[in-house]
Structure 1
Amino acid sequence: MWSEAGLDTATLLLFPLLVVLPRGVAVLVSAAGLCAAGLVLSVSGTRLTRILPVAAMLLGCLLLWGTASALWSVNPMRSLVVATRLAGLFAVGLALGAGAGVIAAPRRLAFLLLIGMALGIAMVAIELATAGSLTALVSTRAYLPTQLNQASISFALLILPASALLISLGQAIFATLLAVLTAVTVYELAGTAAKAVLLAGLAMGLLLYRARPVVAGVALAISVVAIIAAPLTFARLERLPGLGEAADSFKISAGHRLLIWSFAGDRIAERPLTGWGLDASRAIPGGDDPIRPGETWMPLHPHNAALQVWLELGAPGAVLFALLVALVWGVLAHVEWPPLFAAAAGASLTIAFVGCFGTYGIWQEWWLGTLSFSLFLVLVMGRVASRQAAPGKASGSRGLESVVHRATK
């Protein structure tokens, strides 16, 4: 079926594209979303989980509020343009969520993900060894190590679920090899955020493996509080004596990040209920004023999802964002996956959540696309792991050839 073949192709190309042309991920994921929608529509009697309509309702409310914010936005046209883009991205994410449950050959798709990750790791090695020779084939921009930051955090997102899947298939050696190679790749790259979130995810995964319902419930509560209280916490970190200097000594961009958050907190206090308008961060009054050489108060966005939602959409947007995050943690607490895979999926969720609080703009197309496609891949891998663990199923094979054979069925 063309739709499933399209999803297979998108899965295989994800990591190679992240290495050489990360901004193209939005197009790749959009095409995958269309394939997923076609797959769902082609399968008769498809039953959607109760979670999907709830997620659709929350995303719809967020989209409506963001569109309405154009009425008071400091950049109304920008707000409308971004609202239109988000409508498509949200639809793609929902289609992928629905499509994950009706994939006819989940093993094949999971195997193609593993191949894609291996290709991505090899391409990263070539990029580092040749100072960007692969990127030069598709871009005229001068090579910078930071161009691989998107690939780095994406590797971090999926390394643990992919490794857990291999273990569930009886491939502990290959799981270890994949985990080690991917971790080395992440730590060889320039992105500091990917290194930090991978450690956070690993720690959370260990806790979830011991007591998933309790730990997921605590994570849910902490996540909601972190979002709702962001203007009173993240925005005030810069005021702590010595923290700014310590952040600067660690990495100059870290100290700048604290100043950005402080500025965002001041602007949030001016419009706490309505915000300044969807994606209006780049047009916030005073945002272009210089702080230090080469640094301004608001370079495009706050680099913190909670502060960005508060700044642009006010309290209603923050509440909707918190409810979405709570929904995902709530599902993780009770999903019927094997314990190891569920813990790895929770680690991936932690990486995504922490990454949103310190890296990219929350409305960036490539980032939303990567998050939604990663969720799709985790859901598909969860099906494979669950089938393997189900009673009456044969135990995992002891050779990679058997995995290849099953994956192609």
Structure 2
Amino acid sequence: MKAEVMSWRRSAATPVAVLLAVAPGIAVLQFRTMALAVTLALVAAVATHRLVRGVWPWPRMGLVAWLAVALLGWCGVAALWSPEPARALQTIGGLAALLGLALMTARALAEEPAAGRRLALALAGGLAVGILLAALDHASGNWLRLAVRGFPDMPAISFGLKPAVSLMVLLLPLVLAVPMAWALRAVLVSAGLAVALWLPADSAKIAAVAGILAAGAVALLPRAAPRLAALAFAAFSLAAPLVFALALERAPSLEPIPRSAAHRVLIWDFVVDRIAEKPLLGWGMESSRSIPGGSENFPADKLAQYGLNSPEARQWFGVPAARRLPLHTHNAALQIWLELGLVGAVLAAALGAAALLAAGASPAGFGMAISAVVTGQLSFGVWQPWWVASVLLAAVVAGAVRKR
């Protein structure tokens, strides 16, 4: 028993396992803390490896890592013509630090044979707690999160669970690699899917189902599924402006769909037009916040074009929150095109395709990767620190449990 305790203290997997055990619960209460929590866990893992083994866990740079470095390098170049150069450089520095820590942690975990099992069990426990907390919060009218915030008057707080559910469905496919009975894994996955489908987070619902289906697809077609996914991702990433432009021309009336979904469609319409103005180099890193006209509301003729003619729709799109481009594009491919142009789109397409091919080595990892791709195409900004940190954490864990 004493030797086992000592091994935990001397393991680089311990800080990551502790984070996995608490991360879903943390995300339910305050998802923005994930960036800091992941950073601290990765720093602790690297430091532990250095203290115990006497050497730094310098990463082995494969194709995915080099493509990520190349994309960050182009982001640095695109900061030169960005309307937000200081923010761009700050974002690039943060992303580079997270990437470096994730690669070093992956190397440290690869040298510990027991790391995968420890991480997998911590992941299962953390997800169980997170799923329970999310369900309790939603069922109680968000009492838990209101209590954390001092019970402020926040009528739309229910939608704040979306990031937490997105994190949980990102990690959910990795349950398939947990060393416990199939029945227990099935119960945990089913509970995660049920909560995702119950809560008000449409993109998380799609990502949850897509992730589990993708894991099943790669189990049945271990070579074809990753290759098809990589090809589809690269093709969509490169053709995104054209795909959206053609689809938007044939879009039906948006009046019957939820207002948030209609808002996304209108944002994409605005972004496609801005991409056409600077298609080669883009508007610059972190420029989504400062695109000309983005802070304005949609004109009446644009609302009429999409069938949004009811008084209720006009009122909804007249509020400040319904701007033409609020912070980001709600689609990763379009944001890359908008900010980094064709050069960035080529690098991002290559990076995503290479990552999907690498993730296809295991059903759990591939399901996680597909969940991340779906969420990225429907929800958060490409550079949001908490989301990037969460994806890197999931990737590190997927690599460790695959080697288990």
* 1-structure distance, mates of 2:187, 2:251: 44
AA in 2 matched with 1:271 = K
Say whether residues 1:321 and 2:334 are aligned partners: no
Larger mean CA deviation between 3-12 and 109-118 belongs to 3-12
* Aligned residue runs from structure 1 range 81-92, under 5 A: 81-92=90-101
Larger mean CA deviation between 14-23 and 103-112 belongs to 103-112
Say whether residues 1:6 and 2:15 are aligned partners: yes
CA shift for structure 1 position 58: 1.9
**1:21 paired residue number:** 30
* 1-structure distance, mates of 2:105, 2:196: 27
Select the residue among 382, 391, 394 that pairs with 1:374.
394
Say whether residues 1:280 and 2:287 are aligned partners: yes
**1:132 paired residue number:** 142
**1:203 paired residue number:** 213
Tell me, what secondary structure is at the counterpart of 1:310?
helix
AA in 2 matched with 1:25 = M
AA in 2 matched with 1:317 = G
Select the residue among 225, 228, 240 that pairs with 1:230.
240
CA shift for structure 1 position 56: 3.1
AA in 2 matched with 1:165 = A
**2:318 paired residue number:** 293
TM-score relative to the length of structure 1:
0.84
CA shift for structure 1 position 137: 4.0
**1:257 paired residue number:** 264
Structure 2: gaps spanning 5 or more residues: 1-9, 299-316
C-alpha distance after superposition, 1:232-275 (max 9, x if no partner): 11344222141xx2x54232211211111121111111111211
Select the residue among 156, 160, 168 that pairs with 2:169.
156
CA shift for structure 1 position 131: 2.4
CA shift for structure 1 position 381: 2.1
Tell me, what secondary structure is at the counterpart of 2:273?
helix
Say whether residues 1:68 and 2:77 are aligned partners: yes
Say whether residues 1:239 and 2:249 are aligned partners: yes
Q: Is the 8 A contact 1:34 1:95 kept in 2?
A: no
Q: Is the 8 A contact 1:235 1:263 kept in 2?
A: no
Identity %: 29
Q: Is the 8 A contact 2:170 2:371 kept in 1?
A: yes
Q: Is the 8 A contact 2:282 2:337 kept in 1?
A: yes
CA shift for structure 1 position 156: 1.4
CA shift for structure 1 position 3: 4.1
C-alpha distance after superposition, 1:312-369 (max 9, x if no partner): 1111111111111111122234x3xxxxxx2232222111111111110010011101
Structure 1: gaps spanning 5 or more residues: 336-341, 385-409
AA in 1 matched with 2:203 = A
Select the residue among 35, 39, 42 that pairs with 1:30.
39
C-alpha distance after superposition, 1:136-156 (max 9, x if no partner): 343245361111101111221
Larger mean CA deviation between 316-325 and 141-150 belongs to 141-150
TM-score relative to the length of structure 2:
0.85
Say whether residues 1:302 and 2:333 are aligned partners: no
Say whether residues 1:79 and 2:99 are aligned partners: no
Q: Is the 8 A contact 1:238 1:259 kept in 2?
A: no
**1:357 paired residue number:** 377
**1:402 paired residue number:** none
* 2-structure distance, mates of 1:53, 1:160: 24
CA shift for structure 1 position 81: 2.1
* 2-structure distance, mates of 1:83, 1:65: 10
AA in 1 matched with 2:230 = L
